[in-house]
A and B are shown apart, each in its own frame.
Chain A
């Protein structure tokens, strides 16, 4: 993917560039809001990574200006502020995701990937999600594997839905907490792991092949076998 990183701290910028390039992305750097805005306005990027605090034009203004001129490139905000108000203003300005510094690089990589594939995943007309022989009906709220109905708790249903919408992508624990549980803080108790193991039991036991994978130190991935 082509990624534009707008970040004024040179060290962080180099770190992001190096990491994202290792993941196989093409990375362009902009050191301030004005340059970043000019580059982003060309629309040549798949994802924008925008530091919220920038000299001159700040990240909030950059994204707001882009959205006002109908540039819809998905944007990920990086910030040191974790308050709910900051998150809400960021999302209101038109950012698509929000990541609080400091973060693990794997977290950023997963979110950037998720943002880059967004259009396909959020196709509005989709009412049934399918991965291999697993089927999730969004209207009837039912799940079948190999044609057999599987009963899920509401939270397990949402968890599976999120994993299936991001099939083939790595989703992190924090992404699941934010999107499935709406927890914007990290509980000490690993509620994700517990729900996921139950979901696995229901979706995988007696079926083959395995669809939900745990990637140590990175997150989870639901993908087609092979």
Chain B
């Protein structure tokens, strides 16, 4: 971590800001306290001088003004250790007593800088005129005030220093810890950018902001990885799945070209075969496009509340004759009047695809039942048949695009029917589950109620969701 970065990072700047704020408030506090204390001490000293003067006056009153020089000398002696200063002058300006040199009389409070006992001193003093015209100056060293000022200043500067030190230290510690984590995140994301999509941001398990952010980024990475894998899978599947019919098509056409003696009837058959082949390729593309359209349009499409019971019964009615023609029994066991918010055409296609599958894969004599019922929490649509079913380990696979069971390889179909069902279910916030019907296949589509479905379908459903390997 470079020196510059330490000072640039936001935590440290915050710490500095706090340190500055603390220091400023301490200074303001100091100024106020200092001022108040100084005023108080100054007043105290002025009072002390007044008391002294009153005492001198009283003593002179008792003893007579003629004793003033002795009184002053006494006071001077008593307070010699306090660097007190006294001056007594008569009306003519003649010095009568005291320890400072004669000076022009000045009344009231004053600051003096005079030699006292041969030493220059700063004094607080007060000049008084006595009734007999004598002038008295009483001064004293403002040490109490000075001491207090020193005390306050020292206390505050020590305080400020400690505060500043703690703030800066704390800032450095906090910021370097945060910086270390951010650095770790940065290194991981760089590795991911460089192509290692399997890396994940480290979590500390403290559930703080950075942890939550990291968890979100990790979830995002999971999704991206899934999608990347599915896109790869899809392009592989598309390429693979289209290769076979295209190869066959090419063989057919080439064969027809080689055979110079083909009759018009034979050529016609070849062309018809070729068209059928092309149609099956186009059908695959159509199904892929439709899946992509449903995924892309899912959020924009306005959903309406529709009578799903009527929709299901209607589709079953449409398909019942076709099932009967194959010797199958198709029934609807639907609670009437069930409401569902969704896209009519998509939901119709979903059921149609499921019925297509059930009818195509179940043999004669099979019984296919479409049922729907709702609880307070969910609405379930079930398509159950008594056909061969899907072995448990294959049930997840069949939802994958182009995946076809070995047993159904020979039957026609793009292998995208169930993928489309999965995408439509997902767009409606519904879950799709395949289970054993003992015998047969039981497909359950479960719509969660209470707006949960609507919320989930608002979430961005990305292209190729259906292709993600489950």
Interface residues of A (CB under 8 A from B): 82-85, 102, 153, 155, 181, 183-185, 187-191, 193-195, 197-198
B317 within 8 Å of A (CB atoms): yes
Interchain CB contact under 8 A, A185 and B293: no
Q: What residues of chain A lie closer than 8 Å to B349, measured between beta carbons?
A: 185
B360 within 8 Å of A (CB atoms): yes
Q: How many Å lie between the Cα of A79 and that of B68 in the bound state?
A: 127
Query: B283 CB to closest chain A CB, in angstroms?
Result: 8
Q: How many Å lie between the Cα of A190 and that of B352 in the bound state?
A: 11
Q: How many Å lie between the Cα of A147 and that of B142 in the bound state?
A: 136
Closest to B357 in A: A188
Q: Mark B341-356, 1 if CB is under 8 A from A, else 0.
A: 0000100110010011
Q: How many Å lie between the Cα of A91 and that of B197 in the bound state?
A: 46
B21 within 8 Å of A (CB atoms): no
Interface-lining segment among B319-327, B377-385, B431-439 = B319-327
Q: What residues of chain A lie closer than 8 Å to B300, measured between beta carbons?
A: 85
Interchain CB contact under 8 A, B322 and A188: no
Q: Among A155, A188, A194, which residue has its beta carbon within 8 angstroms of that of B324?
A: A194
Query: B115 CB to closest chain A CB, in angstroms?
Result: 106
Known contacts A82-B286, A198-B321; decide if A188 and B293 are in contact (CB<8 Å): no
Provide a sorted-by-A list of 16 A–B residue pairs whose CB atoms are within 8 angstroms.
Answer: A82-B286, A82-B289, A83-B297, A155-B317, A181-B318, A183-B348, A187-B352, A188-B356, A189-B352, A189-B355, A189-B356, A190-B322, A191-B321, A194-B321, A197-B325, A198-B321
Closest to B283 in A: A186
Q: Mark B209-231, 1 if CB is under 8 A from A, else 0.
A: 00000000000000000000000
Interface residues of B (CB under 8 A from A): 282, 286, 289-290, 293, 297, 300-301, 317-319, 321-325, 345, 348-349, 352, 355-356, 359-360, 412-413, 417
Query: A122 CB to closest chain B CB, in angstroms?
Result: 25
Query: B331 CB to closest chain A CB, in angstroms?
Result: 16
Q: What residues of chain A lie closer than 8 Å to B360, measured between beta carbons?
A: 188-189
Interchain CB contact under 8 A, A82 and B348: no
Query: B314 CB to closest chain A CB, in angstroms?
Result: 9
Query: A218 CB to closest chain B CB, in angstroms?
Result: 14
Closest 5 CB pairs of A and B: A194-B321, A194-B322, A188-B356, A83-B293, A189-B322
Q: What residues of chain A lie closer than 8 Å to B359, measured between beta carbons?
A: 189
Known contacts A82-B293, A194-B321; decide if A187 and B286 are in contact (CB<8 Å): no
Closest to A193 in B: B322
Query: B332 CB to closest chain A CB, in angstroms?
Result: 14
Q: How many Å lie between the Cα of A197 and that of B325 in the bound state?
A: 10
Closest to A101 in B: B282
Interchain CB contact under 8 A, A184 and B286: no
Q: How many Å lie between the Cα of A85 and that of B348 in the bound state?
A: 16
Q: What residues of chain B lie closer than 8 Å to A189, measured between beta carbons?
A: 319, 322-323, 352, 355-356, 359-360
Interchain CB contact under 8 A, A185 and B290: yes
Q: How many Å lie between the Cα of A185 and that of B352 in the bound state?
A: 10
Q: What residues of chain A lie closer than 8 Å to B289, measured between beta carbons?
A: 82
The DSSP consensus for interface residues of chain B is helix
Interchain CB contact under 8 A, A187 and B317: no
Q: How many Å lie between the Cα of A155 and that of B317 in the bound state?
A: 9
Q: How many Å lie between the Cα of A187 and that of B355 in the bound state?
A: 9
Q: How many Å lie between the Cα of A198 and that of B289 in the bound state?
A: 34
Q: How many Å lie between the Cα of A153 and that of B349 in the bound state?
A: 23
Q: What residues of chain B lie closer than 8 Å to A184, measured between beta carbons?
A: 345
- Report which residue of A181, A193, A194, A198 has the largest number of chain B beta carbons within 10 angstroms of its beta carbon: A194
Interchain CB contact under 8 A, B282 and A102: yes
Interchain CB contact under 8 A, A191 and B319: yes
Q: What residues of chain A lie closer than 8 Å to B324, measured between beta carbons?
A: 194
Closest to A154 in B: B317
Q: What residues of chain A lie closer than 8 Å to B286, measured between beta carbons?
A: 82
Query: B316 CB to closest chain A CB, in angstroms?
Result: 11
- Report which residue of B289, B349, B352, B417 has the largest number of chain A beta carbons within 10 angstroms of its beta carbon: B352
Closest to B325 in A: A194
Q: How many Å lie between the Cα of A191 and that of B289 in the bound state?
A: 24
Q: What residues of chain B lie closer than 8 Å to A181, measured between beta carbons?
A: 318
Q: What residues of chain A lie closer than 8 Å to B293, measured between beta carbons?
A: 82-83
Q: How many Å lie between the Cα of A49 and that of B355 in the bound state?
A: 35
Q: How many Å lie between the Cα of A193 and that of B319 in the bound state?
A: 11
Closest to A195 in B: B321
Interchain CB contact under 8 A, B321 and A188: no
Q: What residues of chain A lie closer than 8 Å to B356, measured between beta carbons?
A: 187-189
List 7 extra interface pairs beyond A83-B293, A191-B319, CB under 8 A: A84-B345, A85-B301, A185-B349, A187-B319, A188-B360, A189-B352, A189-B356
Q: Among B318, B348, B412, which residue has its beta carbon within 8 angstroms of that of A155?
A: B318
